[in-house]
Chain A
Amino acid sequence: MGLFENLAGAAPELFTIKTMLLMMVGTMAGLIAGAIPGFTIAMAVVLVLPFTFSMTPVEGLATMIAVYVGGLSGGLMSGILTGIPGTPSSVATTFDGYPMARSGKPGLALGIGVWASFFGGVIASVVLMIVAPQLAMIGLEFQPVDYFSLILFALTVTASMAGDQILKGLMAALLGLLMATIGSDVVFGQPRFTFGVDSVAQGFAFLPVLVGLFAFSRLLGDVRTKEKAHQRLGGEEAHAVHIDYLGSAREVLSRWGNIMRSSLIGVFVGVLPAAGSTISNILAYDQAKKTSKEGDKFGTGAIDGIIAPESANNATAGGALIVMMALGLPGDIMTAIMLGALLIHDVIPSPSFISDEPQIAYSIFLAFFVANFMMLFLQSFTLRGFVLITKVKMYMLAAVILFYCSVGIFALNNITYDMWTLFIFGIIGFALRGLGFPIVPMVLGVVLGGIAESRLSQVFARSDDIMVFISRPWSLFFLLLGCFSLIFPYYQKNIGKKAWTRFFVPALMIVQAVPVFMMPGIIRPSLAIAMAATGGLMVLYRLRNGDDPLKAEPTQSSD
């Protein structure tokens, strides 16, 4: 079936009064959550998750997507009005949004942010609908060994995001994998590492683990001292404003090139495992600054400086959904929670998910598209009032949210064991964060641990030959990428300082050309030849001139 037939099949599932109302409430909840500094979107989705248990898969997922989209847009409010980003995905929005608001144009700044979020989301949903089925077709080529290597790659990328602390990032990822082995062997169900405690044989459900690691470490970190606990994180400066929708829409539409570029950056970053909107908004801002004719105005209230991060962070959600829908692997926390929601409804994402369950899959695509319109609609009514929510004191939020988390987690399986899991992993998360360990690699380790083990057992069930890890092109591709991602933090740190960094990118291209060349068909081997040739030329040029041909030209012209 084609795209439009599938969409037509999914539309009656999604466009019911109940689902639309649920999405409205979800978008509103996301906007509120995003507007509260320190309250992450992941936490908002986690809080909504238990409410979805009694819903149909389409209703539940549509509600969660609405929260996600609302949260991404909600972050811009506190970022622009107070200079404190509501979520990490709105950090770059504060660079120009806050100065513009301070210069007497808060309504214009908010309007630009809202429209940029909307266009970013819409572009990403179109890309999602077109790309996800194609990527799923490639995913059908994957064998267990390729999946195993992809999981290793996802974990190395996540760990490498820790930058200087990559050692701790890797340790956290391995600790997560180790935690996932406690309970029972995923292949044969034999008890493992129970240490005589019978209840541990059921293992740890990953949602209590995830919420424990995140909610406790984050919230208790925010109320550590009396002063911090009593802070109104929205600040005293948050106040209601009039939004200039028409003026801002004109400004945004006249900068369509920036919207397209930033949205595509957002989608691309979303597709990469672990690289979420926290990164995409900064990358898009940086690119907008480099390409703008008014680069010197950035940081003082430039319109392009608000458009770029806001369209990129909304578009990233589409990118992350592409991988989850097409390959069945969560690339970040948000999609990990959504994967959990799908599993609760007995829907298992995999490369054949889109073709096996077209109604659910295309309902998710449509829900993402529709949620952006709802966000725009709700923002136009309620933006002024939301700012007041940022006046709530942090300790009040912490106490109530921790209780809500425990109720939600209990409702997962109706057992108090899950609440104990939440508590224990709360302590572990708080301790690890205090000791300088990143939390995300550990969470992904716990989520992906079981999948990795079952894939590994499938690999060994087929053959004892471990050479299969490097003889399969996709497996080799991901393993090599994983190796480069481990070196990436050192490359980033030493770029321009050490000679070897000049050969990092060409080496990556040449090395990755090998597995791509091994892939079937004509297009991919041809692409591999082009990659190798480009990499080789770059090496030759840099050896001869000591500089990059692409970077050399602007330097000469500016001189």
Chain B
Amino acid sequence: MTLNRDAFVAVFFLLLCAVMFVASMDLPPPMFGQLSSALWPRLILVPLALLSAALLYQSQRAPQKTERKTVGQWLEFNRNPFICFALFFLFLVTMPIAGMLLGGLAYVFLTLNVLGGWKPRQLALHAMISAVSVVSMWAVFTQLLGVLLPEGEILRVY
């Protein structure tokens, strides 16, 4: 078996189908005249499994010629997206403490610096951009639209 990107994807989808199919067996049986909760997901899972098998077959028959990368190269190639995801994750995790305003300021400022650079001039520009964009949007939602954005524990605004 040739291990390539599509083969991994196909195997992942086959495993997903298997897990979901097993999980569908735990769903309660239908009452008289009702459509079972498990029927619709199974109607999706069967063709999805068949297509995954077809993708696996295709990946073995005519493997796509993709540029091979080492793990280091792959991580380097996706460095910026991974950091952005990590920062967004931190933004969400710290939301109950920092709130939308402080958390948002920190998130936008850090993302701008990570993507744009850490030189003193850039830091000043990024600080200005994050302050204007986050505070203005926060003010529009909380003051104009009346949406109570999470305030966090550090700064009690409402």
Give the interface of A toward B (CB within 8 A). Answer: 50-51, 53-54, 167-168, 170-171, 174-175, 177-178, 181, 185, 187-188, 190, 192-193, 195, 216, 220-221, 223-226, 229-230, 393, 395-396, 398-400, 402-404, 406-407, 410-411, 414, 416, 419-420, 423, 426-427, 430, 435-436, 452-453, 456-457, 460-461
In the assembled complex, the CB of B20 is this many whole angstroms from the nearest CB of chain A, namely: 7
| Interface-central residue, B77, B100, B148, by most chain A CB under 10 Å | B100
Extra contacts, 5 of them, besides A427-B85, A430-B85 (Cβ < 8 A), are A171-B52, A177-B44, A398-B111, A416-B150, A461-B34
Which residue of B has the minimal Cβ distance to A416?
Answer: B95
Which residue of B has the minimal Cβ distance to A437?
Answer: B9
In the assembled complex, which residues on chain A have CB atoms less than 8 Å from the CB atom of B13?
Answer: 171, 175
Which 7 pairs show the lowest CB-CB distances between chains A and B?
A395-B115, A399-B111, A220-B81, A457-B35, A185-B37, A174-B48, A181-B41
In the assembled complex, the CB of B148 is this many whole angstroms from the nearest CB of chain A, namely: 7
In the assembled complex, the CB of A175 is this many whole angstroms from the nearest CB of chain B, namely: 7
Which residue of B has the minimal Cβ distance to A228?
Answer: B80
| Interface-central residue, B35, B95, B100, B112, by most chain A CB under 10 Å | B35
In the assembled complex, which residues on chain B have CB atoms less than 8 Å from the CB atom of A193?
Answer: 20, 23-24, 41
**Is the Cβ of B55 less than 8 Å from the Cβ of A171?**
yes
Which residue of B has the minimal Cβ distance to A459?
Answer: B35
In the assembled complex, the CB of B31 is this many whole angstroms from the nearest CB of chain A, namely: 8
In the assembled complex, the CB of A205 is this many whole angstroms from the nearest CB of chain B, namely: 16
In the assembled complex, which residues on chain A have CB atoms less than 8 Å from the CB atom of B23?
Answer: 193, 195
Q: Is B89 an interface residue (CB 8 A)?
A: yes
In the assembled complex, which residues on chain B have CB atoms less than 8 Å from the CB atom of A402?
Answer: 84, 88, 111
**Is the Cβ of B41 less than 8 Å from the Cβ of A192?**
yes
Contact with A along B28-49 (1 / 0, CB 8 A): 1000011101001101110110
**Is the Cβ of A414 less than 8 Å from the Cβ of B40?**
no
Contact with A along B97-118 (1 / 0, CB 8 A): 0001000100110011001100
Which residue of A has the minimal Cβ distance to B64?
Answer: A436
In the complex, what distance in Å separates the CA atom of A419 from the CA atom of B58?
37
**Is the Cβ of A420 less than 8 Å from the Cβ of B92?**
yes
**Is the Cβ of A178 less than 8 Å from the Cβ of B9?**
no
**Is the Cβ of B104 less than 8 Å from the Cβ of A174?**
no
In the assembled complex, which residues on chain A have CB atoms less than 8 Å from the CB atom of B133?
Answer: 400, 403-404
**Is the Cβ of B48 less than 8 Å from the Cβ of A229?**
no
Known: A410-B150, A426-B85. A399 touches B52 (CB 8 A): no
**Is the Cβ of B145 less than 8 Å from the Cβ of A51?**
yes
In the assembled complex, which residues on chain B have CB atoms less than 8 Å from the CB atom of A187?
Answer: 34-35, 37
In the assembled complex, the CB of A373 is this many whole angstroms from the nearest CB of chain B, namely: 28
In the complex, what distance in Å separates the CA atom of A404 from the CA atom of B137?
7
Which residue of B has the minimal Cβ distance to A185?
Answer: B37
Q: Is B73 an interface residue (CB 8 A)?
A: no
**Is the Cβ of B141 less than 8 Å from the Cβ of A395?**
no
In the assembled complex, the CB of A242 is this many whole angstroms from the nearest CB of chain B, namely: 32
In the assembled complex, the CB of B72 is this many whole angstroms from the nearest CB of chain A, namely: 16
In the assembled complex, which residues on chain B have CB atoms less than 8 Å from the CB atom of A400?
Answer: 108, 129, 133
In the assembled complex, which residues on chain A have CB atoms less than 8 Å from the CB atom of B9?
Answer: 435
Q: Is B75 an interface residue (CB 8 A)?
A: no
